[in-house]
Amino acid sequence: GAVVSQHPSRVICKSGTSVKIECRSLDFQATTMFWYRQFPKQSLMLMATSNEGSKATYEQGVEKDKFLINHASLTLSTLTVTSAHPEDSSFYICSARAGGGDNSPLHFGNGTRLTVT
Amino acid sequence: TQLLEQSPQFLSIQEGENLTVYCNSSSVFSSLQWYRQEPGEGPVLLVTVVTGGEVKKLKRLTFQFGDARKDSSLHITAAQTGDTGLYLCAGDISNFGNEKLTFGTGTRLTIIP
């Protein structure tokens, strides 16, 4: 079945540094990928929609200069958390839809737990 | 404002019991999905419902989509410890097929052996 891989699974960084998270579709092409963040004991909140070859679309309240998204190929989207602060510590999850249509399955990566110290 | 409210937020029951989780919204969804998420992992799709009034069964799990496509329920029969996890409903309210999902508030289910 379709697989979405995220890397790294865990990362600890110091405040003020930047962290890049990769999301790959391993056996299918994804023109669109989605990035979510999830705080402990809470649900997933959509941050942005990553579009291959064009700018990402950010949800209201998400700083595009803080969370840089690059979708340079049909199988890779990256999320860079710039100048990270402790409040950016969270579980970041990407997803991609295999196949066309809004009823086709949405496959999720296993997430990246970011801890900013 | 959370568009999709799930209830209960937390549920802890004995193995073998039955339970129902609800997902409610004031918005109409073109489709609605249920996911289960284990700690430290991404959500895994359980089912997609599309038609109002639709009922789908997945072994001991029964999913129902409301007639008006604003709500859904998940019923688990004879719960097992392996059912423990975070259950999330998610829907596309855009009706434009732009693939954006809004997730519910989540129900954390614990099955006690």
Share of chain B above pLDDT 70, in %: 92
Residue closest to B106 by CA, chosen among B43, B59, B52: B43
**Mean pLDDT, residues A55-84:** 94
Does B10 lie at the interface with A, CB-CB under 8 angstroms? no
B98 pLDDT higher than 80: no
Q: Which residues in chain B touch residue A49, judged by CB atoms under 8 angstroms apart?
A: 98-100
Pick among B87, B99, B108, B109 to test the A interface (most A CBs inside 10 A)? B99
Question: Which secondary structure element, helix H or strand E, spans residue B46, and what is its range?
Answer: strand B44-49
- pLDDT bin (cut points 50, 70, 90) of residue A97 is confident
pLDDT tens readout for residues B53-86:
999 999 999 999 999 999 999 999 999 999 999 9
Does B105 lie at the interface with A, CB-CB under 8 angstroms? yes
**Mean pLDDT, residues B13-39:** 94
By C-alpha distance, the chain B residue nearest A34 is B100
Pairing between β-strand A112-116 and β-strand A10-13 as defined by DSSP bridges: parallel
pLDDT tens readout for residues A21-32:
999 999 888 888
Q: Does A103 sit within 8 Å of B40, measured CB to CB?
A: no
What is the residue-averaged pLDDT of chain A? 90
Q: Which residues in chain B touch residue A36, judged by CB atoms under 8 angstroms apart?
A: 103
pLDDT at B56: 97
Distance between CA A76 and CA A57 in Å, rounded? 16
Query: How is residue B109 annotated by DSSP?
Result: E
How many CB pairs (< 8 A) connect A and B? 62
Q: Does B88 sit within 8 Å of A103, measured CB to CB?
A: no
Residue A86: helix, strand or coil by DSSP? helix
Q: Give the gap in angstroms from C-alpha A92 to the nearest C-alpha of chain B.
A: 9
